[in-house]
A = this chain, B = another copy of it.
Amino acid sequence: MDSCVIPLRHGGLSLVQTTDFFYPLVEDPYMMGRIACANVLSDLYAMGITECDNMLMLLSLSQKMNEKDRERVTPLMIRGFRDAAEEGGTSVTGGQTVINPWIIVGGVATVVCQPNEFIMPDGAVPGDVLVLTKPLGTRVAVNAHQWLDQPEKWNRIKLVVTKEEVKEAYNEAMFSMATLNRTAASLMHKYQAHAATDVTGFGLLGHANNLAAQQKNEVAFVIHNLPIIAKMSAISKACGNLFNLLQGRSAETSGGLLVCLPREQAAKFCSEMKSLSSAQGASNGAWIIGIVEKGDRRARIIDKPRIIEVPPRGSQGANQDNSAANPEQCGDVS
């Protein structure tokens, strides 16, 4: 499970908490703070929890930075973390900072819940539909962006992508990683989600497998569609299938929720996600990506999945509706 759930000594309440920390992957320290916070909270959101009672921030500052850089960067990271926490309706009270060779940023999210506040991720049934709430490809976008300054690496991809497209994709990845999965968590209740997880270091297929393994029923997850930040699948192919993106193995940071929904709810979930997201100025949506059938509690991607190219926010294609909010598009779903 994405968070631990501990029954408390006090009338029916549960303590739910999670921790995560990692190394910076975007250059903007403020955005890095936001991403770290969104990433920690995401484990609560994956359980349909929309509130958080407290956050701690964990920070290690690099001994290799000079005093001046450290004094410039640290407050920005902390502010980004705090701002994202505030957006999540919570606050940061406590934490710990050490000096270390590398920068580390992360946190702890804790909430005390009544039983109806969280959705145990084990209720998928055959016929359910799988929805993903952020596009894949964040790690590819971050790496491609680093290659802008590395001619040898850039040469491998310059035939399939422009510098402008890489910058747009990097920007999209950064904002996507910094977006809270809170709206998705709240819609999980409205549309009676049966199970969910968030997509992070193990990639879409890794987390789908973990989720499938936890199900009470004998089900399998079959993934037909891969919504990917535009051009990232081309980059991946040009690099000999970089990070196994198209196999669902590319690590994501602060990825979307993978949600199992009753078939009749999935399209409505996607459409409300899309309208709420754009109302908040985000271009994130939700995509129907697969189905749940009877099986041996594993997940797989079909042989030739449909790649949904998700245009970066602000780009020309950003206003197209590509949310595929229609279960019939998932091959044998009907």
Which residues of A pack against B, CB within 8 Å? 3-4, 6, 8-11, 13, 15, 17-23, 51, 53-54, 56, 58, 60, 93-96, 98, 100-102, 104, 106, 108, 110, 112, 114
Query: CA of A102 to CA of B95 in the docked complex: distance in angstroms?
Result: 20
Contact flag A53-B15 (CB < 8 Å), given A10-B112, A112-B112:
yes
Q: How far apart are the CA atoms of A93 and B18 in the complex, in Å?
A: 9
Residues of B within 8 A of A100 (CB): 100-102, 104
Q: Is the CB of B54 within 8 A of A17?
A: yes
| A51–B98 alpha-carbon span in the complex (Å) | 27
Q: Looking at the complex, which one of B6, B56, B98, B106 makes contact with A17 (CB distance below 8 Å)?
A: B56
Whether A13 contacts B15 by the Cβ 8 Å rule is no
Chain copies in complex = 2
In the assembly, what is the distance between CA of A203 and CA of B138, in Å? 45
- With both beta carbons as reference points, the residue of chain B lying nearest to A43 in the complex is identified as B94
A6 and B102 contacting across the interface, CB-CB below 8 Å: no
A53 contacts B6, C-beta separation under 8 Å? yes
Tell me if B54 and A4 are in contact (CB < 8 A): yes
Apart from the given pairs A4-B94, A9-B53, A108-B108, 9 other A-B contacts in the complex at a CB distance below 8 Å:
A3-B94, A6-B54, A17-B54, A19-B95, A19-B108, A56-B108, A58-B58, A100-B104, A101-B101
Bound Cα distance from A17 to B56, whole angstroms: 9
Bound-state Cα–Cα, A21 to B57, Å = 12
Q: Can you identify 9 A-B contacts, CB atoms within 8 angstroms?
A: A13-B112, A19-B56, A19-B96, A21-B96, A56-B108, A96-B106, A98-B104, A101-B101, A110-B110
Closest residue of chain B to A18, judged by CB?
A: B94
Provide the residues of chain B in CB contact with A112, threshold 8 Å: 8-10, 13, 15, 112
User: What residues of chain B lie closer than 8 Å to A8, measured between beta carbons?
Assistant: 53, 112
Closest B-chain residue to A107, C-beta based? B19
User: Chain B residues near A4 (CB, 8 Å)?
Assistant: 54, 56, 93-94
The 5 closest A-B pairs by CB, nearest first: A101-B101, A4-B94, A4-B93, A6-B54, A19-B56
Distance in angstroms from A52 CB to nearest chain B CB is 10
Report the Cα distance A131→B100, complex, angstroms: 35
Highest count of chain B CB atoms <10 Å: which of A3, A23, A93: A93
A106 cross-chain contacts in B, Cβ below 8 A? 96
Cα-based distance from A60 to B104 in the complex (angstroms) = 10
- Closest Cβ neighbor of A7 among chain B residues: B53
Chain B's closest residue to A21 (CB) is: B96
Bound together, the chains give a CA A53 to CA B9 distance in angstroms of 9
